[in-house]
Amino acid sequence: PGPVCKNVLDVIIIMDEQKNYLYVSPSSKEVFEFDYENMNDYEAYFNIHPDYVPLLNESYESTLTTGEPFDIDVQAHHSVRGWIWTKILGKAVYDDDQKFKHMFLIARDISKEKERENELKFYAYHDSLTNIPNRRYLRENLLQQIQHFNNTGIPFAIALLDIDDFKNINDSYGHEIGDAIIQEFASRLQQLVIDKGIVARLGGDEFVLLLDDLNIVNNIHHFEQLIHQSMQAPFTVQATHLNVTTSIGITLCDRKGLTNSLIFQTVDKALYEGKQNGKNKTVINIIKD
């Protein structure tokens, strides 16, 4: 008896206590593209990614000791497709005297399931229009940034931006062009930040930059000028040329005891003050001890 094999493309593997292959089903040729007829030539776990060998070995040994079955996801090698996600189910089989006979294993290609899982995870933390991080991703990373500051004392900055008169763009040119403007705006911000922080879309035409690069933080006035300069080139969408400007609120975070709420309140106030002073403006606040 062993785990139920429901899929004709499941690979059945039987190994002894020393992890020698006693049997590998012919389906292994289609699933993994290796020669199942000469398994004596292979060492145990020969097609398992080195990063997952310890996990598989630990699971195998645990089942040998406890008799409890295991169910793990690892990466296994396919000679054409490379490393593919594989689920391995394992169960110890005993004789009538409860003496261990062999390990019954099933290996199953779960690449499509993993791709779908990763896609769902991606869109849980990313904006569907621009593919950049969303509010949820930002909040979690902001918490980490606060903790990093508490541990190191290294300051960081957060900038809140929106597109001036974006409603007029949508009303005048339609939402398709409005969406394209949002995408281009996000792209220009990403080119500025690169690996110096995070660009996130809160929704609508609101964006946040979480900046952890000290060079930027110490030269925040220069950086905000770079943002405005990056928007000076016309946005061209479907032969329509639009001039786009942005208002920016920036908060420099340089004290312990900060919270997401306090930071967002402060940067939101800075953006509001910038709007009150006219379009294409920046207001910078500092949270210090």
Half-sphere exposure of residue 138: CA atoms within 13 angstroms, side-chain side: 25
Closest by alpha carbon to 212, among 162, 172, 263, 156?
156
Q: What is the pLDDT of residue 4?
A: 44
Q: What is the pLDDT of residue 6?
A: 47
Using an 8 Å Cβ cutoff, are 71 and 65 in contact? no
Closest by alpha carbon to 160, among 288, 255, 270?
270
Closest by alpha carbon to 175, among 204, 147, 154?
204
**pTM of this prediction exceeds 0.85:** no
Tokens coding 81 = 């497709």
Tens-digit pLDDT profile for the chain (289 aa)?
444 444 557 999 999 999 999 999 999 888 888 777 777 778 899 999 999 999 999 999 999 999 999 999 999 999 889 999 999 999 999 999 889 999 999 999 999 999 999 999 999 999 999 999 999 999 999 999 999 999 999 999 999 999 999 999 999 999 999 999 999 999 999 999 988 999 999 999 999 999 999 999 999 999 999 999 999 999 999 888 999 999 999 999 998 889 999 999 999 999 999 888 888 999 999 887 6
- Bridge-based pairing of strands 197-203 and 100-109 is unpaired
**Host H or E run for residue 86:** strand 82-94
**Long-range contact pairs involving 273-279 (C-beta distance under 8 Å, separation at least 24):** 273/249, 274/247, 274/248, 274/249, 275/247, 279/164, 279/165, 279/245, 279/247
Sheet of 82-94, strand order: 21-24, 11-15, 100-109, 82-94, 70-78
Q: How far apart are CA 112 and CA 54, in angstroms?
A: 24
Closest by alpha carbon to 214, among 289, 268, 152, 260?
152
Using an 8 Å Cβ cutoff, are 208 and 138 in contact? yes
Q: What number of helices (H) and strands (E) belong to the chain?
A: 9, 12
Alpha-carbon distances, residue 124 vs 132, 137, 139, 252, 277 (angstroms): 11, 8, 13, 28, 36
